[in-house]
Amino acid sequence: MNRKKSVFVYALLALVLGVSISGFGQDAAIPGSVGSRAGTAIEQALTYIDSVATYLGQGIIYILNLITNDRVSADLEKPIGYLSLITLLLLLFGLLDFARRIIWIGIIVGWVLLVVRIVLDALNI
């Protein structure tokens, strides 16, 4: 049963990657065609994800600045936001075991680097 689940996940991943890669190089879409609407839909989805990450980062930076007396740089909004978004997605969806381990390693390294940067900002080094 677990093998069927992993095959389904791989097939879904291949489909998503195949659809996204097949759109490269097709810059000259006819106005009003399906391709131009799909491009704008993808752009809107990516803009939405970027906005969510930015707002998450702004919220976390606000809380950190309350603690550290405004010593955390606003340049960290996007990295903290994206790491928070990925962390939330990981907690919500619970990926496959091997993928979960790899993603957790990346998230832990990212958070450690961000904490080091916050500490350095707070100490004005």
- What is the rounded CA–CA span in Å between residue 71 and residue 96? 38
Q: What is the pLDDT of residues 16-51, one digit of tens each?
A: 444 444 444 444 445 555 555 657 888 998 999 999
CA distances (Å), origin 97, targets 19, 90, 102:
26, 12, 9
Q: How far apart are the first and last CA of the chain?
A: 54
**pTM for this structure?**
0.53
Instruction: List the structure tokens of 85.
Output: 């978004």
Q: What is the pLDDT of residues 89-112, one digit of tens each?
A: 877 776 666 777 788 888 999 999
- What is the rounded CA–CA span in Å between residue 21 and residue 125? 43
**Is the predicted pLDDT of residue 75 greater than 60, yes or no?**
yes
